[in-house]
Amino acid sequence: MENFTAYNPVKLRLGKDIVHELGKSVQKIGKKVLLIYGGGSVKKNGSYDDVMGQLKSIGAEVYEYTGIQSNPLITDVDKAAELGREKNVDLLLALGGGSVLDTAKVTALTIPVDHSGWKFISGEAVAKKGIPIISVLTLAATGSEMNMFAVVQNPETKEKKSVWSPHCFPKESFMDPKYTLTVPKNYTGYGITDLVAHSLEAYFGKGGSSLADRFVYSIIAEAQEYGPQLMNDPDNYDLRAKIMLAATYALNGTTIIGKAVGDWGVHAIGHVLSVLYDVPHGASLSIVYPAWLKFQMHKLEDRISELGENLFNEPDAEKSIAMLESFFESVESPVRLQDLNIGEDKRQEIIEHLVRNKATGNVHKLKDEDYEAIVDLMYAAR
């Protein structure tokens, strides 16, 4: 086991109508609120009306920054920060999925400074403070509601990268599974894929922790049992709640306890697909994971076999990867680039961007010459 520090200050509140408590929480921080959300979904699932009702009840002064897109942009962060600075807001209220939460996180770091939020992502600046954030989550996937990471992309440099800062932790996160009932089937599946991928990034990280491994198996077992059920019964509140909780715990520190660091190489490759072809995050991961595992087989066979035994009762590493792939398909997440109509004419472009972005893991380092084989596996016949 590695030396280890656990820290997670987020007050998590999950349950039906939990947003009725929002006003009190906002009031404790301040009155001037910058509300950030995406396109129209929050107006259809009732969350916008509930949130506005709460803000009205405490007489909050509300400014809105909207239109955050999936695979969020640094340009929106900078514009939202400008508005926040101009109005001197007390807090940010993020209403939506991971893209909205991540935008709010980087905006929180950017409001107090006079440069683009990208400097925090590129590593040119380190955040010394942040505006407080409260989140109301409407999509189960990223775990952003209970972690200190944020991922945004830069349309100019064609990079998608993350920042982590203790100032990115939301003060509180409100999670009412009923808001996720309207999440379309494709994003429901991608969210399930994402939570499995987060567990695996921890599993293939540095250090041995049997307890962390058992958390990984349990979280993935939830996805295995309830993911396909939810795909067939998307209006089921209890199934939505189970997946929501599993997604939060897949990336709130639980799966990494006693370990030094997760790998995150699969995410780095997935981000390149997202920035090039606007691939939804979870969809990129179900394509990259099988390819990455096959590529790492010579080095990680025992570890993959242990995973297979625990998840599928299948000790053969190759068969385990095939079963993981079938699981991704069972939640309607793509497993080859062709499934997203990304033809082989894009092969070279993808390789070039992987090299340029140095898309590698923290532990299992990839060399420039490795990408060809990985990309070929993402195109391989089934």
Q: For the CB of residue 353, give the shortest distance to ligand NZQ in the complex, in Å.
A: 16
Name the residues that contact Zn ion, by CB under 5 A. 194
Tell the smallest beta-carbon distance from residue 222 to ligand NZQ (Å): 18
- SS3 readout for 47-69: HHHHHHHHHHHCCCEEEEECCCC
Q: Which of these, 301, 375, 272, 378, lies nearest to 334 by C-alpha position?
A: 378
Pick between residue 100 and residue 246 the one whose CB is nearest to ligand NZQ.
Answer: 100
The reply to whether 366 sits near ligand NZQ by the rule CB under 6 A is no
Evaluate whether 77 touches 103 at the Cβ level (below 8 Å).
yes
**Span of 91-99, 221-229, 230-238, 332-340 interacting with ligand NZQ by CB under 6 A:** 91-99
Residue position matching structure tokens 């006003």:
23
**How many Å apart are CA 307 and CA 314, to the nearest integer?**
9
Scanning residues 92 to 131, which ones bind ligand NZQ (CB under 6 A)?
96-100, 102
254 counts as binding ligand NZQ under rule CB under 6 A: no
**Given the complex with ligand NZQ, which of 15 and 39 has the nearer CB atom?**
39
Structure tokens at 270: 């997935």
Q: CB under 5 to 8 A by kind: which of Zn ion, ligand NZQ, none does 98 bind?
A: ligand NZQ
Residue whose pair of structure tokens reads 């390789």 in the numeric block:
351
Strands 149-154 vs 159-164: parallel, antiparallel or unpaired: antiparallel
Ranges assigned E (strand) in the chain? 11-14, 32-37, 61-65, 91-96, 133-137, 149-154, 159-164, 172-175
Query: Binding to ligand NZQ by residue 45, rule CB under 6 A?
Result: yes
The DSSP code for 208 is -
> b or e along 53-90 (b: 16 or more beta carbons within 10 Å of the residue's beta carbon)?
ebbeeeebebebbbebebbbbbbbbbebbebbbeeebb
In this complex, which beta carbon is closest to ligand NZQ, that of residue 186 or of residue 305? 186
Q: How many residues bind ligand NZQ (CB under 6 A)?
A: 34
CB of 200 or CB of 378, closer to ligand NZQ:
200
Q: Does 188 bind ligand NZQ (CB under 6 A)?
A: no
Shortest distance, position 288 Cβ to Zn ion, whole Å: 11
Residue 147 touching ligand NZQ (CB under 6 A): yes
Which H/E stretch holds residue 256?
none
Nearer to ligand NZQ, 169 or 308 (CB): 169
Sign, Cα dihedral of 9, 257, 146, 72: positive
70 binds, options Zn ion, ligand NZQ, none, Cβ within 5 to 8 A by partner type = ligand NZQ
* Interface with ligand NZQ in residues 47-76 (CB under 6 A): 70-72
Alpha helices in 4-97 (DSSP H): 22-29, 41-44, 47-57, 74-87
Q: Does 40 bind ligand NZQ (CB under 6 A)?
A: yes
Binding mask 261-290 for ligand NZQ (x = CB under 6 A): ------x-------------x---------
To Zn ion, the closest distance from the beta carbon of 195 in angstroms equals 8
CB of 163 to ligand NZQ, least distance (A): 10
Residues of the shown chain interacting with ligand NZQ in the complex, contacts defined by CB under 6 A: 38-42, 45, 70-72, 96-100, 102, 138-139, 141-144, 147, 149-151, 179-180, 182-183, 187, 191, 251, 267, 281
